Amino acid sequence: MTDYWLSKLFFDLQNPSVGAEWRKNRAPILDRYPLSPDIRAAVLNDDVAVLAPRVNAYLLRFYLTNCGISDADAIAKLKTLQTSEEATRG
């Protein structure tokens, strides 16, 4: 299930001025969104395992890149999650 406010945050970070502000200090931007404490903590820790099921994959990938995680590392994180999920089901 997607989280509207998490998706809205990730979408808004596409704005260059918001993205620049985010890279300087995340807290003031996070305060603009009514995120649950566990989601807020996941954002602060870049916890892909918590974030991925709650947001569109394209927004997540952009978010990780915006946080300074290279595109290759972002894709690797997503693939690791997929592999872990498959092992759990399998």
- What the chain holds in terms of domains, given with CATH numbers, is 4-89 (1.10.700)
Q: Tens place of pLDDT for every residue, the chain, 90 residues?
A: 789 999 999 999 999 999 999 999 999 999 999 999 999 999 999 888 899 999 998 899 889 888 888 888 888 877 887 766 666 666
The predicted structure's pLDDT at residue 68: 87
- Burial of residue 51 (number of CB atoms within 10 Å: 0-12, 13-18, 19+): buried
DSSP string of the chain, one letter each residue:
---HHHHHHHHHTTSHHHHHHHHH-HHHHHTTS---HHHHHHHHTT-HHHHGGGS-HHHHHHHHHHTT--HHHHHHHHHHHHHHHHHHH-
What pTM was estimated for this model as a whole? 0.82
